[in-house]
Amino acid sequence: MSTLTNIERTVTSLPPSQQRSLLVWLQAALAPSPVPTAKPRAVREAWLQSLAERRERGRTGKTGTPLQQVMDDLRGD
């Protein structure tokens, strides 16, 4: 006989109030991790501004960003 079968049998023998208490505990124990909170608006705005500046610096009149510019940005030059 499996452990799960024993647990199911035991749970069904509990009074309804104890079954509810067990359910609440299981839900809390199995709850997904909290979702990370969003970054503050000011941080996001600064990040977007930085992206816009990089995009503007990379303008050459040609489609795409030159490889050298991408490499410089990655290195922080």
pLDDT tens for 2-54 read 899 999 999 999 999 999 999 999 988 888 877 777 778 888 888 889 888 88
- Give the tokens for residue 50: 């930085």
Q: What is the DSSP letter of 61?
A: S
pLDDT at 61 (0 to 100) = 67
pLDDT at 21 (0 to 100) = 93
pLDDT at 17 (0 to 100) = 93
